[in-house]
């Protein structure tokens, strides 16, 4: 998602899928937004009330929870 000067994306670079934010201004800084160790964050979406993300363990029968 691109919001203002920030691009939000998910990555498993720390072993679990988490949400990251990349600042497109001159700082070019990446910040880890979520720090889940037990759950993956496979996707996120923007709502009027803020950014929401899906938390799931990716197992049979687990539909995840939106936060």
Q: What is the pLDDT of residues 51-65, one digit of tens each?
A: 555 555 544 445 555
pLDDT cut 90: percent of the chain above it: 15
Q: What is the DSSP string of 12-52?
A: -TTSS-EEEEEE-STT--EEE----SSSEEEEEEEETTEEE
pLDDT tens-digit readout, 15-36: 888 889 999 998 899 999 888 8
- Overall pTM surpassing 0.75 (yes/no): no
Average pLDDT, the chain: 76
Nearest to 30 by CA among 8, 53, 55, 54: 8
């Amino acid at each position: 998602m691109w919001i203002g000067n920030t691009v939000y994306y998910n990555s498993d670079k720390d072993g679990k899928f988490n949400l990251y934010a990349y600042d497109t201004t001159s700082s070019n800084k990446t910040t880890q937004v979520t720090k889940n160790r037990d759950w993956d964050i496979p996707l996120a979406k923007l709502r009027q009330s803020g950014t929401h993300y899906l938390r799931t363990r990716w197992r049979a029968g687990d539909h995840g929870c939106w936060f």
